Amino acid sequence: MIPAITSWRSKLRLEAKYPGSLEGLLLRGHALHSQHRFHEAEQVAQQLIKVRQAPFDYGLLGDVLMEQGRLRDAVGAYQKMLDLKPNLQSYSRAAHIRWLKGDLPGARQLIQMAASAGSPQEAEPTAWAYTRMALYELQAGSRATARAAVDAALVLEPDYPPALLSRGRLLLADGNTVEAIESLQSAAKLNPLPEYHWVLAEALRAAGRSHEAVPVEKQILERGALDDPRTLALYLATRKEQVETAVKLANDELANRADVFTLDALAWALSASGRVEEAYSR
């Protein structure tokens, strides 16, 4: 009986500290995650798990562990979430892990399960699942399936920036630059992050509209370090511009966000700066 008493005492303490209920604490954890305060978000997730062990508590824990580069621990948290509640959110996370580990067929299967588990009542997360499906299908060479997935996402959320970005990428792959630019401009207007501006700038240059690309690229340089330093590091390294700045940005990001994407950005920046052996060690 002692663990149960301890659990209820902990629950009462948490509810006293966060009067909006434990769901409010979960929302706080997600807010910390979105602010890249991963260690604090992990503490919130662990507090929640101690008192109730709900599926979304494990989802939050897996998310912040993955961002910190602790992939094995994240897999365990996601598996627990999946065991407790196999649904859109848990299937989506499992698909992402499969993709990260190089299992594209497994990722495609799980993201299909995620999308199938969605509904118009969960429009945004279902649109996200379809957008991820488009990415996996494009990587697998199945453009028709990827286009259908993007269309499904945009039916659910007509102005969904990630789906508009994916549609732009698909149109570029098909050689339809004019329509691609329209979709990418809409996406960048709705979500002006470096990733969106980068793809738009490349599309504009591919269409011979370099004069329009220049202000877009300027915004990447002006806002990138604040909005998304990791993507700015990749952008600079890819263009072989300000490569030492790219290395610094990636290194600084690594102190807080040690996942595979940050390591990739650092390795790419090191390679661009001529430090190839150091890049291989990453």
Any idea what the CATH number is for the domain that residue 131 is in? Answer: 1.25.40.10
Structural domains in the chain (count): 4
Whole-number pLDDT of residue 19: 45
Please write the tens of the pLDDT for every residue from 199-255: 999 999 999 999 999 999 999 999 999 999 999 999 999 999 999 999 999 999 998
Residue where a domain terminates, one of 140, 158, 176: 158
Whole-number pLDDT of residue 55: 96
Q: Examine the domain organization and report whether 97 and 137 are in the same domain.
A: yes
Q: Examine the domain organization and report whether 78 and 107 are in the same domain.
A: no
The domain of 97 spans 87-158
Q: Examine the domain organization and report whether 4 and 35 are in the same domain.
A: yes
Query: What are φ and ψ of residue 197, in 5° steps?
Result: -70, -35
Residue where a domain terminates, one of 112, 136, 158: 158
Whole-number pLDDT of residue 147: 97
Q: Angle at the Cα of 213 (from 207 to 214), degrees rounded to 5?
A: 145
Q: Which residue numbers in the chain have pLDDT < 50? A: 1-12, 14-16, 19
Residue where a domain terminates, one of 143, 158, 173: 158
Tokens of 83: 């065991």
CA distances from 207 to 143, 161, 200, 210 (A): 22, 22, 11, 8
Whole-number pLDDT of residue 12: 43
Whole-number pLDDT of residue 282: 67
Chain centroid to CA 64: 12
Q: Examine the domain organization and report whether 10 and 54 are in the same domain.
A: yes
Q: Examine the domain organization and report whether 80 and 17 are in the same domain.
A: yes
Q: Is 120 exposed, middle or buried (0-12, 13-18, 19+ CB in 10 A)?
A: exposed
Tokens of 3: 């663990």
